[in-house]
A and B are shown apart, each in its own frame.
Chain A
Amino acid sequence: MKTHDKSAREPLLRIVKRESMPIWKSMLIRVIAVLAGILICALLSVLVLDNVDFLKFIKTLFSGAFGTERNIWKLGKNAAVLLCISLAVTPAFRMKFWNIGAEGQTLIGALASVAVAYYLGGKLPTPVLLALMLLASVLAGAIWGGIPAIFKAKWKTNETLFTLMMNYVATGIVAYCLAIWCPSNGSVLPRLAYGHLPVIIHEYFLLIAVTLILTAVVFVYLYYTKQGYEISVVGESENTARYVGISVGKVVFRTMLVSGAICGLAGFLIVGALDHSITTTSVGGMGFTAIMVSWLAKFNPLVMMGTSLFVTFLQQGAAEIGSAVDPSFPNIIVGIVLFFIIGCEFFIGYKIKFREKARKGGSAS
């Protein structure tokens, strides 16, 4: 057996954290990554789909999102719902509480709205009904977010698993309620006639406006209030938080109530402004996409307006290109582009170092 010297035992590649990088440089890397991702998507589309060339891909991507007035409204609406749920997950994420239960919190919020409209619709004036729906949704969402927080604070349960499991419980409850409400109907609840949000300017306007106001509120809450600061401190270091006298359990619980309540609001908007009904898939995975949106924006609500719009733009544009062939096509496109973005974040934060010996033997370092 040969004897190995020290340098030979050193791995060929090593990952080293970068000191720092000028903002212009990191932004440039991100733009290049997005463009590279879209380029790969275009290549894939040209290869896989009939009648698509590179120019048509780019053109359709944009026309799908901005082509008609209806598409623009749809883009705004879809981005707003996604943004609303992204805002919901953000406070918890800033305190490094990995809440992946937004899907279930939103769904249970939507269910609360539907339940109120189902039982009380027609018996109360619409404004009262809407107020009750909103209240019920926010409460339901908050409870759904609060339960994992209590367990985390009291018994140190793993919040990622707990919130994830709560999604399935929510789905099950929705299925159960639908089976009760419409047994002879294959569990399909037709659009309810009551509890519709008023149409101002456009069907989707109110939803978009509410979300934009909410964005400002969440931004102020996180950056300019004591509670927001406490969240940041707990996120930085729980020990520091304890040292300065912050009750970590209390902050975790309160923040999860806020997260859940905003999810509940999103559920209310989905029911009151869009679906007027519910299925087990009413949230359609947005609770998970929202995690991505929030993370891409570095948990900053204002930047999230951009990231949610970007993700929705990709989804909608890709749907125009390929969903007539395969409904999963938009997911493929969004997946590829996000993969590139996440990849570039890695290279912004870290660099890869080659083994020293190889460097000596090779060209200049």
Chain B
Amino acid sequence: MFKKITALCLVVLMAAACLGLAACTDMNSGAAKMTDSPLPEVELTKDFEVPADFKIGFILLHDEASTYDLNFINAVKKVQAALGLTDDQIVYKKGIPESNACYEAACDLVDAGCDIVFADSFGHESYLLKAAEEYPEVQFCHATGTMAHTAGLANFHNAFASIYEGRYLAGVAAGLKLNEMIADGKITAEQAKMGYVGAFTFAEVISGYTSFYLGAKSVCPSVTMEVQFTGSWYDEVKEKEAATALINNGCVLISQHADSMGAPSVCEEKQVPNVSYNGSTHEACPTTFIVSSRIDWSPYYLYIIKSYCQGTPIAADWCGGAEEGSVVLTGINETAAAQGTLAKLQEVAGKLKSGEIKVFDTNTFTVKGEKLTSYVADVDTDAAYTPDTEVIKDGYFHESEFRAAPYFDIQIDGITLLNTNFG
């Protein structure tokens, strides 16, 4: 009897598996159309010689499973292909915590003969700095950090990108979608409320969601936004919960600044449009994915490798923009996006590049009902986080100009924070 039951169970299981597979294939064959990117990746050109003994090392907080680190790894692969580097010329240290272990990993990479050492996480910085002091002949480059422009070391460098421009463009796509929903009578203009799942309540995330919101507002003036923080860069369950809470709260479009598939997958399940980050989530969310912005690190990699090989100094603080190809967008999913999104985004991208549009134009937002005329931001790192630099000039907030890493940390009107989470 027992055997029979087991056999029956197996048959049922296998049948279910087959059906499941079939269903998957069906979904793939019905994949939606993707347009060209309004802000595509740039081609990397090799116009210099790389010595055969050149080596570069990469310190990563996690591995490919995190979309954040995956974005860095993909950029490495891109620059590797463009420069024809062998696998032996690239050394990875994955899963390196933000502790003395980062210093050890950097020293290991120096021992392995690396000419450049790159670390990808904010908390790596002070440990990488320690290694930089010890090995002046090796170049140390750090993504998202803040210390290099005041550290005074010739071999220690920070880099970031003006990703707020990418977020702004993604926001325009969101605003167009809201307009379409209003025009179709699905929502009223007052119901145009977006939800945003953020990781932590600090400048990088605040700058990101504010630029996203301003992008949407530039085409849909009635838009409001609610932000829910998870307190983690990668927590699928919390991101799902946050997205669900926002949708239940009446948000009709969701975006996120956190690294898991949590928010996009909830959106697909509940059929709520989603503007993604750090890469396309189109495959998993074919009917709700609109567009995604991300930083492409390969232009920076090309820049540091070229500088090293040509013997020119690397900038202490480097900020890449749309021009350099550091800020890119995916194609637009025509199934989910509003009509004419591509053309509008191309137009706005052009205006951003020419400087005609400033993302943080002080005429486009208010703080506590008033226009902002002055703001002193904490640009130079010190232990007490003292504000030190006036960043509003010529009618706009100069984000990422005095230092690549974001410092826009103002709460503007129209955005409601449902909670805060500093860690």
Binding site for B on A (CB under 8 A): 68, 70, 74, 175, 178-179, 182-188, 190-191, 274-275, 277, 279, 281-282, 284, 323-328
Contact = CB atoms under 8 A, between A and B. Distances in A.
A327 B130 contact: no
Contact of A190 (B91, B95, B147, B201): B147
A74 B126 contact: no
B422 A274 contact: no
A275 B107 CA distance: 15
A183 B95 contact: no
Interface stretch (B33-41, B98-106, B183-191): B98-106
A327 B62 contact: yes
- A-B pairs, top 8 by smallest CB distance, nearest first, are A327-B95, A187-B423, A179-B422, A190-B126, A191-B126, A274-B100, A188-B123, A324-B92
A184 B379 CA distance: 11
Nearest to B130: A191
B99 A185 contact: no
B97 A187 contact: no
10 contacts: A68-B111, A183-B201, A184-B378, A184-B385, A186-B423, A187-B422, A274-B99, A275-B100, A323-B93, A326-B94
Contact of B97 (A175, A191, A281): A281
A324 B93 contact: yes
Contacts of A190: 125-126, 147, 381
Interface of B: 62-63, 91-100, 104, 107-108, 111, 122-123, 125-127, 129-130, 147, 200-204, 231, 378, 381, 385, 409, 422-423
Residue among B93, B127, B381, B423 with most chain A CB within 10 A? B423
Contact of A328 (B95, B204, B378): B95
B422 A183 contact: yes
A281 B96 CA distance: 12
Nearest to B101: A284
Contacts of A279: 97-99, 123
B107 A186 contact: no
A279 B204 CA distance: 19
Contacts of B423: 175, 178-179, 186-187
A245 B123 CA distance: 54
B183 to A, nearest CB: 40
A68 B201 CA distance: 43
A190 B125 CA distance: 8
Residue among B92, B123, B204 with most chain A CB within 10 A? B123
Nearest to A322: B94
Contacts of A185: 122, 202, 385
Given A184-B203, A186-B123, A188-B123, 7 more contacts: A175-B231, A178-B423, A182-B385, A185-B202, A187-B423, A323-B94, A327-B62
Nearest to A176: B423
B385 A324 contact: no
Contacts of B231: 175
A67 B71 CA distance: 32
Contacts of A325: 94
Contacts of B201: 183
Contacts of A175: 231, 423
Contacts of A183: 201-202, 385, 422
Contacts of B96: 327
B235 to A, nearest CB: 13
B152 to A, nearest CB: 15
A119 B202 CA distance: 23
Nearest to B91: A324
Contacts of A184: 202-203, 378, 385, 409
A190 B62 CA distance: 19
A327 B231 CA distance: 23
Contacts of A327: 62-63, 94-96
Contacts of B202: 183-186
A275 B202 CA distance: 24
Nearest to B100: A274
A196 to B, nearest CB: 11
Contact of B122 (A68, A188, A328): A188
Contacts of B93: 323-324
Contacts of A277: 99, 126
Nearest to A122: B383
A188 B199 CA distance: 14
B99 A323 contact: no
B399 to A, nearest CB: 15
A214 B235 CA distance: 40
Residue among A188, A191, A323 with most chain B CB within 10 A? A188
A357 to B, nearest CB: 22
Contacts of A328: 95
Contacts of A182: 385
Residue among A179, A186, A284, A326 with most chain B CB within 10 A? A186
Nearest to A331: B95
A186 B130 contact: no
Contacts of A187: 200, 422-423
B91 A70 contact: no
